[in-house]
Each structure stands twice: as C-alpha cells, then as structure tokens.
A and B are shown apart, each in its own frame.
Chain A
Amino acid sequence: MMMWINAIIQGLLLGGLYAMFSCGLSLMFGVMRFVNLAHGDFAVLSAYAAYVLVEHVGGTPLWTFAIVIPASALVGFLLQRLLLDRALIGGALSPLLVTFGLSILIENLLQQGFGANNESLFAGSLSYESWKINNSIYLGRLQVIVFVIAVALIAGLQLFLSRSRPGRNMRATADSRRAASLSGVNERRVRATATAIALATVAIGGLFLAMRTSFTPTSGASDLIFAFESVIIGGLGNLWGTLLGGLILGVAQTVGSQINPADGILAGHLVFLAILAYRPQGIIASKYALS
C-alpha cells in the first residue's frame, strides 16, 4: 500500500516538472497557433550550457540559472525575430517544418559536440538530501523544490497574463489576432515576448531536469512529448489545466513503472490516448486560448 502512495507522491512531484515544460508550449501555441517542435531540444540545450559553465567555472549548477535563463530568453527573442516570424508568413505547415528542422539541427549539433553519453548536473547535497515521511516514503529535497517552483512559475505566468499590460496583449492576440492588432497591440512584439518567455521557462525546466536525472542530446524529444501530453490531458489554453495534466501524466508514469519498470512511459501515453478518445477537450475545458 505504502508503495503505491509513494508512487503517487513521486508522480505528483515529477508532474510539476512536466508542467514547467508545458507552460511555455501552451503560451506559444496560444499566441501563434503552432507547437514549437524544438521545445524540448531547447531544454536540453540549456542543460548542456549549464554543464559547460559548471565544467569550466566550477561550483554548483544553481548559479548558472542566472546566466542560462536570460540567455535562453534572448535566444527565444532572436528565434522569433529571425526565423519564426518569417515562417508564420508561409502558412500553417511552415512553422512546424522549421521547428522540426531546428530540432534535428540542435540534437545533432549537441551529439557532435558532446557525444551520446548520459550527462547530469550534480547539485551537491541537494541531489540526495530528502525529508523522511515514514519508512517507505522519502521526499527528495530537490524534487520538492522543483515542484514548488513549477507551481510558482505557473501562478506567476497566470498573474502576468491577467494583470500586466504585455500579458493582456498576449491574451488579446490569442483570442483574435486581428482584433488585437486593430486595437493597437504590437503583434510582432507580443510574439517575440511569448517566445522569449517560453524559452526562459523551458530553460528552467531543462536545468531542473538535468539536476534530477540525466540527459543526452536526444532527450529533448521525450521532453516535448511529455509537455504536449500534459497540455492535452489538462485541457488546451488553461495554465492550471496544464499543471493538472502534468500531475496526471507524472502519476501515470510512476504508477506504471511501479507495475512494471519498463511500462512507465507507456502508461503515460495510454492515459493520454484515453483522454484523447473520451475527453478530447481535456480535463479542464477552456473556451479561451489562454485564460
């Protein structure tokens, strides 16, 4: 019994990380109506950036957040200005094809630079310290911190979208590009901001993922898939729904692995497909693109 409770708790903690990955995906989709297929690869890219910084400068990976996250946001801004704005002109398929091309490019450049080995960021005592609940349930300190930050991140993003001017512009653009544009919203700036924020959040996710587990140049693919599944399970266009989706996916995976260690990911996929079959609007259906 304790074993299952433990699986569920660990799943919830893992789900926070997935939610962290998916909020940026949701945001970009809301504003531009496409999924950045290189989303996960940008997470891995930040993990490697932190890895290189730690190798050369030393210390714990925590200080690299201060460099990697703004750098990733800047990459997002440039990505939007230089490539994605252009891709959006080319119709519905172009952004998908461009970001898929980028995904192949990033994965293989990393493969060329670092090889296919598993790497990980060692966060000192944070990596192994935990709180003991009872004899079979331990809460990893890092895991709990990641979860808390994920919830804070989503709350912050929600607050940004509902209270701040750029956030409201973003929601307006998500609801209707044309109407927003007519009422004076600078659409180009909204898009660049959304992508910058998305890449900043995915960098946070990537760094924490790298500290929690290991990563390889190709692990971006599964990050993308889990982020996507969280979004669909929770319900598109709703950040709290995305958090819920992440938690459900996390629990499905850990409970699945508890049943059979090889089946964790499959269990997550099956929950996703079941939602798709029986409740395609997601658990929390939302009328608006980002509310």
Chain B
Amino acid sequence: MRATRPESLATVRRYSAPSLGGLGVAGLVIVVLALLPSFVGESLVNRLTQLFSLLILAVGWNLLAGYGGMVSIGQQAFLGLSSYAVLYLSLHGVLAWWGAPLAILFAGLVSVPISFLAFRLRGSFFAIGTWVIADVCLLVVAQIEMLGGGAGASLNDLNGYDPITVGDVTYWVGLAIVVATLVGAALLLRSRFGLALISIRDDERAAEATGVNVARTKRIVYVLSAAICAGAGALLILENLEVQPDSTFSVQYSAFMIFMVLVGGIGTFEGPIVGAIFFFALQQWLASYGVWYLIILGAVAVTVTLWLPKGVWGSVDPHNRRSLVPLRHRVTLHRNTESPHEQEGTETGRGGE
C-alpha cells in the first residue's frame, strides 16, 4: 500500500480511510444483495433487477462522457443490438442466460467499426452522429422479419422454467454484470490507462503532449462503454422477456443515462451509483404520473447542469478527498521540505466538465 521510492523522495498512497471503508461496505452490500432473493419477495427482486440495469447504464455513460469527454446520445444502439443478439441466439438454441455474455461481446465488436465513423465527429456533432447511428440500427433491425420486424418479438426459451426461478436467475445475472462493471471500471481507472483517460478528460492537448495516445484511448473507452450498455441491454430483455425495436432503441435511454450521471456527479466513480439510485426512486415514486416524471427529469437535468454542475456526489466530495474507491494517487513529497508536502495526484476530481 505504501510504495516508497528508493531515494524516498516521495510516498505514493493509493488507499485512504474512506476508500478502505468504502470497499468494505461495497463488499458487504454485494454479499447481502447476492443472498437477498432467498429472503424477499419476487416483486422486490424484479425491481432491484431494474435498478441494476439503470446502474449499468449510468456507469457506462459516465465512463464515456465523464472520463472520456464524449457526450453520446446514441448508446441505445448497443443496448438494442445486445437485446436483439440475445433474442437471435435464443432462436438458435442458446439459452438466454448464456446468450447474455455473447451479446455483450457482439455489441463490443460492432462498436469498433462504428467508432471509426462516429469519431469523424467531435463534440456536439459526435452527440447527434451517434444518435443517427442508433436510428440506423433501429431502422435496420425493424426490417428483419426473423427478429419480429417492427412489432418486436418475445423471448420464449425461458418459458419452461418456473417464473420465480427465472426472476431470481435474471437478478443474479444482473448483479454479476453490475459487479463486473463496477470492479472493471475501478481497476481500469486505477491503472495507467485510467490515468491517461483522466488526463484526456482534463486537457486533451496536454495529454497528447505528454505522450498519451488520445485516439486509441478514446476508442477503447468507447468500446468498453458500448459493451457495458450492451450488458444493460441483455439484462433488459431477460427482465422483460420481450423486445420491441422502438422502445429498445429509444433515445429515452440516453435521457436516463444523462440524467443519472448528471444528478449523481459526472466524472466521479460514485456519482452514477448515487444518480441511478436517485433516478430509480424517482421512477418508482412518479411512475403513476405518466409523462410528469419525464417533465421533472428534463427540468432537473437543466437545473443540475446549471446550478449544481458537480452533481450530488461532487458536492458531497468537491475535492475528491472522501472517495469511497481507491482510485487516486496521493503523492507526498519529502524533498527539500521539513514537513511532508501533500500534492494532488493526477486525479484531482475535476468533474462536471
């Protein structure tokens, strides 16, 4: 934990009290969540599965926009492609639960050629360009008769199982995807690659100048984010047991992702988790009011961007000192100073950009 350089010029600490505590709590929460289906009813399990898909979407979008600096409003492309991949595989005899990882892989692979098109555009134009690409996916998929065309299709290969078992297994699949996403994202951000990514977020030109391969780093993040959204897509078809092109490729998912990440705190690890839980609560509370919850969603998105740009988590932890996940490098210099002088590591938590 304490890596001291030979000359003892500086000490690099990766862990802090909050982050060790955070890891412990996270581990405990995961264990409790894994055991939960044995203790609680079916409806709570199904609702938590919904929360899982929201969480996955939020983390995926935050990785892309918050860390990669790329605002996409077309991530629903990968969500939909993955749902349909699960459907396609199930029509060819692959049980839907096993189809999920293959679907994620498929969407990740598809995102590579897509990235070459989308990366021709930057900033605002990238955002709408990705939306067009998602619309193309929708229009193409809706014409494939085998996959139900415009009306969609239902996933029938789980019909033989007891519905409660299906719900529980889907819940565990969801939990597994959530854990894999969060652990993966944390390890990624801790690594050298994560440092490169964060430096790009803070200043693309400076990152390039210090030797970061900006184009490649961005592409990798784009592909990872696509795979994460595909995880949510696979989970959604397992949850609903049906898929319909207009809804699975709906831009509304982008609205949800943006909302969760903004409210929680863009460019922070904890933000999207907070945002997803908040959004889930809002959805449960306002679901019976129809479109009002979308109206509130839009209004909150505008308000938060303008008046609370760091989101909820960014306001709780404005200087990223209380991070619950050990992502930072804290460098303490010993040279030329009597008392150790704290210096910020590269990751200083400049969220909300």
Q: A98-B306, A104-B255 are in contact. Are A232 and B295 (CB under 8 A)?
A: no
Assembly CA distance A33 to B125 (angstroms): 10
Q: A29-B124, A105-B295, A269-B139 are in contact. Are A90 and B352 (CB under 8 A)?
A: yes
Nearest Cβ on chain A to B317's Cβ, whole angstroms? 19
Is A210 located at the chain interface by the 8 A CB criterion? no
Assembly CA distance A228 to B352 (angstroms): 26
Is B309 located at the chain interface by the 8 A CB criterion? yes
Stretch at the interface among A108-116, A144-152, A165-173, A185-193: A108-116
- A108 near B294: Cβ-Cβ < 8 Å: yes
- A101 near B128: Cβ-Cβ < 8 Å: no
Bitwise interface map of A from 93 to 130 toward B, beta carbon under 8 Å scored 1, else 0: 11111101111111111011000000000000000000
Q: A29-B124, A35-B124, A96-B71 are in contact. Are A86 and B294 (CB under 8 A)?
A: no
| List of B residues within 8 angstroms of A100 by Cβ | 73, 254-255, 258, 301
> Nearest residue in B to A260 (C-beta to C-beta)?
B143
Assembly CA distance A104 to B290 (angstroms): 14
Nearest Cβ on chain B to A209's Cβ, whole angstroms? 18
Q: A91-B353, A93-B65, A100-B258 are in contact. Are A229 and B124 (CB under 8 A)?
A: no
- A266 near B136: Cβ-Cβ < 8 Å: yes
Is A221 located at the chain interface by the 8 A CB criterion? yes
Is A283 located at the chain interface by the 8 A CB criterion? no
> Nearest residue in B to A95 (C-beta to C-beta)?
B124
- A34 near B124: Cβ-Cβ < 8 Å: yes
Nearest Cβ on chain A to B73's Cβ, whole angstroms? 7
Is B17 located at the chain interface by the 8 A CB criterion? no
Is A78 located at the chain interface by the 8 A CB criterion? no
Nearest Cβ on chain A to B8's Cβ, whole angstroms? 39
Is A66 located at the chain interface by the 8 A CB criterion? no
| List of A residues within 8 angstroms of B255 by Cβ | 100, 104
Nearest Cβ on chain A to B311's Cβ, whole angstroms? 11
Assembly CA distance A98 to B124 (angstroms): 12
Cross-interface CB contact of A273 among B123, B132, B143, B305, cutoff 8 Å: B132
- A108 near B291: Cβ-Cβ < 8 Å: yes
Residues of chain A in range 56-99 having any CB-CB distance to chain B below 8 Å: 83, 86-87, 90-98
Assembly CA distance A229 to B131 (angstroms): 11
Query: Residues of A within 8 Å of B, CB-based: how many?
Result: 47
- A269 near B132: Cβ-Cβ < 8 Å: yes
Assembly CA distance A232 to B121 (angstroms): 9
| List of B residues within 8 angstroms of A221 by Cβ | 251
Q: A105-B295, A112-B292, A270-B136 are in contact. Are A90 and B309 (CB under 8 A)?
A: yes
Is A262 located at the chain interface by the 8 A CB criterion? yes
Is A137 located at the chain interface by the 8 A CB criterion? no
| List of A residues within 8 angstroms of B65 by Cβ | 93
> Nearest residue in A to B261 (C-beta to C-beta)?
A97
Nearest Cβ on chain A to B198's Cβ, whole angstroms? 15
- A269 near B135: Cβ-Cβ < 8 Å: yes
Residues of chain B in range 269-293 having any CB-CB distance to chain A below 8 Å: 290-292
Nearest Cβ on chain B to A278's Cβ, whole angstroms? 10
Bitwise interface map of B from 209 to 244 toward A, beta carbon under 8 Å scored 1, else 0: 000000000000000000000000000000000000
- B127 near A232: Cβ-Cβ < 8 Å: no
Cross-interface CB contact of B131 among A104, A225, A236, A280, cutoff 8 Å: A225
Assembly CA distance A265 to B136 (angstroms): 9
- A101 near B298: Cβ-Cβ < 8 Å: yes
| List of B residues within 8 angstroms of A95 by Cβ | 124
Nearest Cβ on chain B to A248's Cβ, whole angstroms? 15
Tell which of B131, B139, B305, B309 has the most Cβ of chain A within 10 Å: B305
- A105 near B302: Cβ-Cβ < 8 Å: yes
Cross-interface CB contact of A94 among B131, B136, B292, B309, cutoff 8 Å: B309
Is B266 located at the chain interface by the 8 A CB criterion? yes
Is A14 located at the chain interface by the 8 A CB criterion? no
> Nearest residue in B to A91 (C-beta to C-beta)?
B353
> Nearest residue in A to B71 (C-beta to C-beta)?
A96
Q: A93-B71, A98-B306, A100-B255 are in contact. Are A224 and B298 (CB under 8 A)?
A: no
Is B179 located at the chain interface by the 8 A CB criterion? no
- A35 near B127: Cβ-Cβ < 8 Å: yes
Assembly CA distance A91 to B123 (angstroms): 11
Nearest Cβ on chain B to A108's Cβ, whole angstroms? 4
| List of A residues within 8 angstroms of B254 by Cβ | 100
Assembly CA distance A95 to B69 (angstroms): 14
Is B30 located at the chain interface by the 8 A CB criterion? no
> Nearest residue in B to A267 (C-beta to C-beta)?
B139
Is A272 located at the chain interface by the 8 A CB criterion? yes
Residues of chain A in range 25-45 having any CB-CB distance to chain B below 8 Å: 29, 33-35, 37
A-B contact pairs, 5 of them (CB 8 A): A96-B71, A97-B262, A109-B295, A232-B125, A273-B136
In addition to A87-B306, A94-B305, A273-B133, 11 A-B residue pairs with Cβ atoms within 8 Å of each other are A29-B124, A35-B127, A83-B306, A93-B352, A103-B298, A108-B292, A108-B298, A112-B291, A112-B295, A232-B121, A266-B136
Interface residues of A (CB under 8 A from B): 29, 33-35, 37, 83, 86-87, 90-98, 100-109, 111-112, 221, 224-225, 228-229, 232, 236, 262-263, 265-266, 269-270, 272-273, 276-277, 280
